[in-house]
Structure 1
Amino acid sequence: MTVATGGFALAAIPALDPRALGFTGLLVAGSAAGTLVAAGWLWVVTTDVAVRLLRGRSPVVRRAGAVRLLVLAACGAVVIGASATPAGADDRRPSVPASLSGLPLPDRATGAPAPRSVPAPAPSTSVRVRPGDSLWAIAEERLGPRATVVEVAAYWQRIHARNRSAIGPDPDLILPGQLLELPPVD
């Protein structure tokens, strides 16, 4: 490709105009260009090593320069710094999307719950298990949106204790159609 052809190809893309891109666009374009340069350099070095090995010569081994060592140390510091942040946990109930309802929650809740409109809990003392339900989801629905994770955890265990003869020893094995008696809400 000649310089004139390359210049024409770049001029044909109006998004490369720095005034049209803005800072974010320039940052993305610069990162993309840097990635292409790094990939090209990796290809050249890999090809050089492969050719030298195929010809029976050993590849040239060089000591790392000061700049390379500094960049490597900075990358290590970023990795260590990113993983050194302590995990935050509290007993507030996390927001669970409807598509994940009934699945077990992680050991630690992270983030604040998003406000959501949930109907008031039903005053009935029994519930029929629906497909995808779990004791956690049933307890969560019964206690309402203001219940904490600790309250939901205690309540689903009380549901299991009250219905142990119908559920069995494994609280994860409830079947659609089962009728469970709910203990009173404290």
Structure 2
Amino acid sequence: MTLVRVLFYFLSFIAIASALYAAASKNLVRGIFVFFVTLFALAGLYVLALADFVAVTQVVIYVGGILVLILFAFMLSGKETLNVLQQQKDKFFSLAKLPAILLAALFFIVLLNVVLKADADNLPWVKESISLKNEITPNVIMIDNIGINLMTRYLLPFEAISVLLLMALVGAAHLSRKEGKA
């Protein structure tokens, strides 16, 4: 077994175990910090897949931005709200959770259908990888293509997402400010 395979299994185990713990944790603070570990393990998996730009983006945007936003939301929420979240019923299946469970089951069925019907052995990038004896050599063209496509072909969606994120930031700032009593 090669070192890359050992690292892959190690990072995969850390990502899956920490994600399951974050989802099942009753303590919100521990869940947030374990989610931090999950995001870093995913960035490590991206590095192993030679997607260094995606790994850096994962760390900067998700770890540096989204996780900090979650921490601020947790810190700014009132004690009453946190107590209600901590005191939720321990029932896994209930009538109130039925739509979420049905949606998750439907998503699982669709995902399973895609995996079973996909002919992964005949994909062009898989054939190229097999012909190269499963060794993909990194090159600088990958990052250049991302930058060129973002600023030409995908400029409108890129700008639309930036406006959407700006609106979310303004909304979060508006919700977090304290109302003065008149």
Interval containing the TM-score (normalised by the shorter chain): under 0.3
> What is the TM-score when the length of structure 2 is the normalising length?
0.21
Bigger helix fraction: 2
> What is the TM-score when the length of structure 1 is the normalising length?
0.21
